[in-house]
Amino acid sequence: MKLGMKAAVVAFFVGLTPVASDAGVILAPFAGKTFGGGRDAAGDDSHFVYGGTLTLLGDGLFGFEVDGQYAPNYFGDFGDSNVASLMGSLTLGGGGGGTGVRFYANAGAGLLRTHVADRQGFFDTDRNSFGITAGGSVIVPLGSTFGLKGDVRYFRGLVDSDSGGSIDLDLTGFHFWRASAGLALRF
């Protein structure tokens, strides 16, 4: 989809968005960088990431958020590699919809997926792991139905270290931070 078409689709949905001063549903597409997760083959620990969040905030202290992201070439440019996640989080703060800038902390869990394949197709590794996330967000309104959203989040993989019947979760060595920014569309 070309950039002009994407802009037209976003403008269409912004136009359909109802105007409400205490809106509590926020859709936020974002772009950003990952960092702090170890260096790839080129020595870089920062990678482009994009995705979106759907946040349900009310006038109270608690809310819920779904966050999905995709980071292409996460493990370097030697082949096909990426990291994707889909996490559900509880939010704390952000109350007082319609009163201006909203800050909130979030923590949750969900799917953390990694994919690595070399150029010759000798190896191809996909791993779906349980992951956790924690961080903070800020939403700055620029109008009654749109604004800007900034995020800083930490992601960490978990593994079941007990091969028997019980569940014994341990932290894995795979982790990274994400800093991102994007539009915040209120419904």
Residue 68 identity = G
Summarised one tens digit per residue, pLDDT across range 29-67 is 999 999 886 655 556 667 899 999 999 987 778 899 999
**For residue 69, how many C-alpha atoms fall within 13 Å in the half-sphere facing its CB?**
31
DSSP 18: P
- 98 phi-psi bin (left φ>0, alpha ψ -120 to 50, beta other): left
Task: Compute the distance between CA of residue 25 and CA of residue 17 in angstroms, rounded to an integer.
Answer: 11
Whether residue 16 is predicted with pLDDT greater than 80 in this model: the reply is no
For position 57, what pLDDT does the model report?
84
Q: Where are the domains of the chain?
A: 31-186
Q: Give tens-digit pLDDT for 120-169.
A: 655 556 778 889 999 999 999 898 889 999 999 999 988 766 666 666 56
Residues linked to residue 32 through DSSP beta bridges, in sequence order = 49, 180
* DSSP structural state of residue 14: H
In this structure, what DSSP letter does residue 7 have? H
Four-way CATH pick for 31-186: 1.10.645.10, 2.40.160.20, 3.30.70.940, 1.10.760.10: 2.40.160.20
Query: How far is the C-alpha of 6 from the C-alpha of 155, rounded, in Å?
Result: 29
Q: Which residue has the tokens 């889909």?
A: 86
| pLDDT number for residue 8 | 43
